[in-house]
Amino acid sequence: MIETYLQQFREIGLPALVRLSGDEQAVVANWAQKVTDGYAAVLKKFTLKINNAAELPYSKERIKIAIKTLIAAYVFKGMDDSIAILKERYVRLSTFQEIRPQDRKIMVQKDVKTGQTSPNSESSMMAVQQKYMQLVLSEEKILHEDIDTYLNDLNLT
């Protein structure tokens, strides 16, 4: 049932939720809460500005749909604080990027004896971090616009 909902949400957005029966909406709401709770736990663990998307418990797309699903439910309940938290978490998805294995090695390369990055690797590490930071900032802007549009569609902004 969840896969059907996800496909319909991709195709038509929020009306996919509205078309469900009350029991189906409860199942979807429970799924969305489980996904966002798993994501929230990862956010507490990974607080860097650039994180590996492989650390996410679900795909970014599933997390986005789960957050949007919960936001819609919170709108109807008037839970503005929860909406603000979910909006911030939605945008923070940008900090999770698909980091290539060779780039991961450069980003965490440290001298085993001193615990410091070596001078030769410092410039490579900065270049790699800059590349991913540009991706983060670009995606952050897109996610911000996306969630603002969604909220506007729900008549919140």
Return the pLDDT at 108: 64
Q: At what angle do helices 2-12 and 22-45 cross, to 10 degrees?
A: 90
Please state the pTM of the whole predicted model.
0.85
> Could you tell me which of 69, 50, 55 has the C-alpha nearest to residue 10?
69
Mean pLDDT of the chain: 89
Reported as a pLDDT band with limits 50, 70 and 90, residue 90 is very high
> What is the Cα–Cα distance from 120 to 153, expressed in whole angstroms?
51
Range of the domain at 20: 2-153
Q: Is the pLDDT of residue 157 over 70?
A: no
Which value, to the nearest 10 degrees, does the dihedral of the CA atoms of residues 122, 123, 129, 134 take? 160
Reported as a pLDDT band with limits 50, 70 and 90, residue 2 is very high
- Over residues 104-155, the pLDDT tens digits come to 877 765 444 455 555 446 677 788 888 889 999 999 999 999 999 999 988 7
Q: Is the pLDDT of residue 85 over 70?
A: yes
Place of tokens 């009350």: 22
Looking at residues 79-104, what average pLDDT do you find? 94
How many domains in the chain?
1
> Could you tell me which of 129, 54, 142, 128 has the C-alpha nearest to residue 96?
54
- Over residues 22-42, the pLDDT tens digits come to 999 999 999 999 999 999 999
